[in-house]
Structure 1
Amino acid sequence: MRSRLSPLRIVYGDHRANWRIGLVSAFLTVICLIWIYPFVWMISTSLKSNAEMFSNPGLIPQSWATENYARAWTEAHMGSYFFNTLIVTVGSVVIVTTCTSMLGYVLGRYRFPGRNILFFSFVATVFIPQGFTIIPVFELLSRLGLSSNLFGLTIATSGHAMVIFVVLFAGYFAQLPRELEEAARVDGVSFLKIFWYVMLPLARPMVVTVVIMQVLHAWNDFLLPLVVTLANPAIRTLSVGIYAFKGEQFIDWTGMAAAATISIVPIVVLFMLLQRYFINGLAGAVKG
């Protein structure tokens, strides 16, 4: 016999479910407000004068000093640093996405002698701190004559973050159907064309995920650009340029906040536009 629930039990169950949802939503709202408070404070500080920043602890500015942005963009050379960062970021995204997708495709779809050793060697390099690799990377760039230009900085930025992306691509490609490649081979399609026209379009969520993660890495990286740009301050990136607001005797907090806002807003907008692909890409990589 089909079991029947009384109306009272149904209403009681719905009430408990709504109560739990409301409680979880309230808890997450509090966590979200705590999480975004530094970002809101940074924007508020960027619109205050240095004097008001200390006298007015609230989030609503009284004078709305929008000239901080103009000062950061021109006098602090954040405009040129912005375009330097854009060049390095776009260049590294192209290099990293191309190389890691091809290597991840081979590791994820093919079995060959030494594959496991190569795979675990890649994974092992994740645990090497970036500080340990700064000196050999800079020495290599110096020997190649690339230590004082944007191309060298782009190459160095590209090489630092490839390992994780190779693993993600390998996991994503491994869970795609084998029949797709077999059908393409029957039609006489070459290995490179199978990858470029068949497999890579199917991995679009993973590509977007890697693009977002590499943009975040290249845009916010500080230690490597700091070392590489010591000999040529004209090629500084935004993260290094922001540090210039800190002097020996005085810190321009409002100018630094304006520069940080200029640096962070493009990343926030990019992530909001592509977050759906980012989540789908990570889910597919974990599943694979």
Structure 2
Amino acid sequence: MTIPELTARDSRAKAGLPSAGVGRPRPRGRVRRMVTYAILTPIALAWIYPFLWMMSASVRPNGKVFAGLGLFPTKWFFSNYTDAWVDAEMGRYFLNTVVVTFSGIAIVVFTTATMGYVLGRYAFPGRKILVAVLGALVFLPQGYTIIPIFDLIGKLHLDGTLFGIIIAESGQAHIIQLLLYAGYFRQLPKELEESATMDGAGFFTIFVRVFLPLAKPVTATVVILQFIASWNDFLLPLVLTLSQPDLRTLAVAIYSFQGENYTSYAQMNAASTISLLPVVVVFLLLQRYFVEGIAGAVKQ
């Protein structure tokens, strides 16, 4: 650097001005960013295209649903939503899904947070073996458990009730949610627990008032995971509502649009759009906490 350049830099520093070149993006970084956008934009469009096509098909006449792959129909039939909501009684099934989903979320958050707190904060014989077994259960397909769940719900005389569906949805082995809580609680400092114990707080007081409020990111993650799982679950509600069609959830009700001789694809897409919009809204509202919860749980 020459003497005039050094003098100019010192003068700008004394005046409180940024140095020349500061704040300007480097050409190499700009090119890298443009290449990244050029690659990811088509991938993102291809990823969301089925969802956009479904929304487009929901406002087409039933005979024109598969007329093309375009996203802008020539005629807009918003009556498909009215027919799906009123005539197909999607409003009732939507309410059933809301009750089952949010009741299941409350139960799953409490049970997995409590078990995760014990698993993450307390040392007991066989804990590593238990964690290994729980990790192995992640790969167990749901189809293997549907028969014992159905048998248990029947023996409890809860078949044909929404409460039975809630218990079946929330009583499964939610391994990922449990391990997320355990990993997050494990990394919190011991001083929090020791201080609360010195103040005379017991197990549940420490858990509810100290640790659970600190686990808001993980709780948001568990809420999203359980919301998506319960809201979109098909097999378990289908089996438990075979004798009670009025208790169907949205996923099962959408399947009922497919008949033996006739299928209303337009109304099916309208009902699918109604079903997916709450999932998108919940994820957009909690996505920041979702990322924080995943990152905080795996950081050791």
**So what's the TM-score if we normalise by structure 2?**
0.90
1:245 is matched with: 257
Q: Structure 2 CA distance, aligned partners of 1:27 and 1:135?
A: 46
1:59 is matched with: 71
Q: Structure 1 CA distance, aligned partners of 2:35 and 2:162?
A: 51
CA contact (8 A) 1:161 1:214 kept: no
1:7 is matched with: none
Q: Structure 2 CA distance, aligned partners of 1:58 and 1:110?
A: 57
Q: Structure 2 CA distance, aligned partners of 1:133 and 1:43?
A: 34
Query: Pairwise mapping of residues 10-89 of structure 1 onto structure 2 (< 5 A)?
Result: 14-55=26-67, 57-89=69-101
Partner of residue 232 from structure 1, selected from 244, 252, 258: 244
2:229 is matched with: 217
Dislocated runs of 4+, deviation >6 Å: none
* SS of residue paired to 2:262: coil
2:118 is matched with: 106
2:284 is matched with: 272
**1:181 aligned onto 2:160:** no
RMSD after superposition: 2.1
Q: Structure 2 CA distance, aligned partners of 1:247 and 1:225?
A: 19
**1:130 aligned onto 2:119:** no
CA contact (8 A) 2:53 2:69 kept: no
CA contact (8 A) 1:101 1:169 kept: yes
* SS of residue paired to 2:125: coil
Q: Structure 2 CA distance, aligned partners of 1:30 and 1:86?
A: 35
Q: Structure 1 CA distance, aligned partners of 2:86 and 2:236?
A: 24
Structure 1: segments with no counterpart, 5+ residues: 5-9
**1:206 aligned onto 2:218:** yes
* SS of residue paired to 1:127: coil
Instruction: Encode CA deviations 1:216-251: one digit per residue, 9 max, x unaligned.
Output: 000000111111111111100000000011111222
Instruction: Encode CA deviations 1:155-212: one digit per residue, 9 max, x unaligned.
Output: 1111235111111100010011111001111111111111000000010000010001
Q: Structure 2 CA distance, aligned partners of 1:22 and 1:248?
A: 51
Offset of residue 57 of structure 1: 4.1
Aligned pairs, number: 283
Q: Structure 2 CA distance, aligned partners of 1:93 and 1:36?
A: 27
1:91 is matched with: 103
Offset of residue 61 of structure 1: 1.8
* SS of residue paired to 2:260: coil
2:12 is matched with: none
Q: Structure 1 CA distance, aligned partners of 2:97 and 2:246?
A: 12
Q: Structure 1 CA distance, aligned partners of 2:171 and 2:42?
A: 39
Offset of residue 56 of structure 1: 5.1
* SS of residue paired to 1:160: coil
Structure 2: segments with no counterpart, 5+ residues: 6-21
Cα pair distance change 1:129/1:56, threshold 3 Å: closer
Instruction: Encode CA deviations 1:137-164: one digit per residue, 9 max, x unaligned.
Output: 0000011111211101011111235111
Partner of residue 285 from structure 1, selected from 270, 273, 297: 297
Q: Structure 2 CA distance, aligned partners of 1:66 and 1:84?
A: 24
**1:166 aligned onto 2:178:** yes
- Percent sequence identity over matched residues? 53
The letter of the residue matching 2:187 is: Q
Q: Structure 2 CA distance, aligned partners of 1:80 and 1:14?
A: 57
Partner of residue 164 from structure 2, selected from 152, 171, 180: 152
1:140 is matched with: 152
